[in-house]
Chain A
Amino acid sequence: MSIAHAARRIPQAACCIGCRHFLHEPQALERALPGMATLSSAYAAVRADDGLCALHDRYVAASSSCERYNAPQAA
Chain B
Amino acid sequence: MAELAQRANAPLGLRSSFWGALVRKEDWWAIWIGLGLVAIAIAWFAAGGSVKWIAVAPQKWSHLAEVSAQLKQHGLQYAALFVLWAAAFGVGAAMLGIAISRFLPAFLAIFTAATAIYFLGLWDQSAHYNLEPPLVALGLGLLISNTVGAPRWLQPALRVEFYIKTGIVLLGAALPLTLIAWAGPTAIVQAAIVSLATFGTIYFAALKLGLDKRLAATLGTGGAVCGVSGAIAVGGAVGAKKEHVSVAISLVVLWAIAMIFVLPLLARGLRLPTGVAGAWIGTSEFADAAGLAAAQSYGGYAGNVPGIGGAPDAAVTAFTLMKVIGRDMWIGVWAFVLSLVATARWERTGVQSNLGAAEIWRRFPKFVLGFLIASAVVTVVSQGHDYTAYKKDVLPALVAPLQTFRTWAFTFAFLSIGLTTRLREFAAFGARPFYAFAIGVAVNVSLGFVLSTQVFSGFWERLAQ
The answer to whether A46 touches B16 (Cβ under 8 A) is: no
B97 cross-chain contacts in A, Cβ below 8 A: 26-27
Is B341 part of the binding interface, using a Cβ–Cβ cutoff of 8 Å? yes
- Docked CA distance A37–B155 (Å): 10
Question: Among residues 2 to 47 in chain A, which have CB atoms less than 8 Å away from a CB atom of chain B?
Answer: 2-3, 5-7, 9-12, 15-28, 31-41, 43-47
Q: A45-B21, A58-B351 are in contact. Are A39 and B228 (CB under 8 A)?
A: yes
Cross-interface CB contact of A38 among B8, B27, B420, cutoff 8 Å: B420
The answer to whether A61 touches B355 (Cβ under 8 A) is: yes
The answer to whether B4 touches A54 (Cβ under 8 A) is: yes
Question: Among residues 94 to 145 in chain B, which have CB atoms less than 8 Å away from a CB atom of chain A?
Answer: 96-98
Consensus secondary structure, chain B interface: helix
Please tell me the size bucket of the interface on A.
35 or more
B232 cross-chain contacts in A, Cβ below 8 A: 33, 36, 40, 44, 46-47, 50, 59
Q: A56-B350, A61-B239, A64-B353 are in contact. Are A39 and B1 (CB under 8 A)?
A: no
Q: A48-B16, A59-B235, A64-B239 are in contact. Are A10 and B356 (CB under 8 A)?
A: yes
Distance of A36 from chain B, by nearest CB (Å): 6
Cross-interface CB contact of B8 among A1, A52, A65, A72, cutoff 8 Å: A72
- Docked CA distance A63–B271 (Å): 50
A9 cross-chain contacts in B, Cβ below 8 A: 354, 356
Distance of B160 from chain A, by nearest CB (Å): 6
Report the tally of A-B residue pairs with Cβ distances under 8 A: 244
Q: Which of B4, B14, B344, B349 has the most CB of A within 10 A?
A: B4
The answer to whether B13 touches A59 (Cβ under 8 A) is: no
Consensus secondary structure, chain A interface: loop
A73 cross-chain contacts in B, Cβ below 8 A: 8-9
Question: Among residues 413 to 451 in chain B, which have CB atoms less than 8 Å away from a CB atom of chain A?
Answer: 417, 420-422, 425-427
Residue of A nearest to B249 (CB): A35
Residue of A nearest to B364 (CB): A45
B interface residues, Cβ below 8 angstroms from A:
1, 3-4, 7-16, 21, 24-28, 96-98, 158-162, 226-233, 235-237, 239-246, 249-250, 252-253, 256, 286-290, 331-332, 335, 339-341, 343-345, 349-357, 359, 362-367, 417, 420-422, 425-427
| Besides A39-B256, A41-B229, 5 new A-B residue pairs in contact (Cβ under 8 A), listed by A number | A6-B339, A19-B13, A39-B417, A40-B227, A51-B236
A interface residues, Cβ below 8 angstroms from B:
1-3, 5-7, 9-12, 15-28, 31-41, 43-54, 56-67, 71-73, 75
Give 9 nearest A-B pairs by CB, closest first: A50-B236, A40-B228, A41-B161, A39-B287, A43-B26, A34-B425, A45-B27, A35-B249, A6-B343
A sample of 26 cross-chain residue pairs with beta-carbon separation below 8 angstroms, ordered by A number, consists of: A3-B344, A3-B345, A6-B340, A9-B356, A34-B250, A38-B228, A39-B228, A40-B287, A41-B26, A41-B159, A41-B162, A43-B26, A46-B332, A50-B233, A52-B242, A56-B351, A57-B241, A59-B235, A59-B239, A59-B240, A60-B351, A61-B339, A63-B354, A65-B354, A72-B10, A73-B9
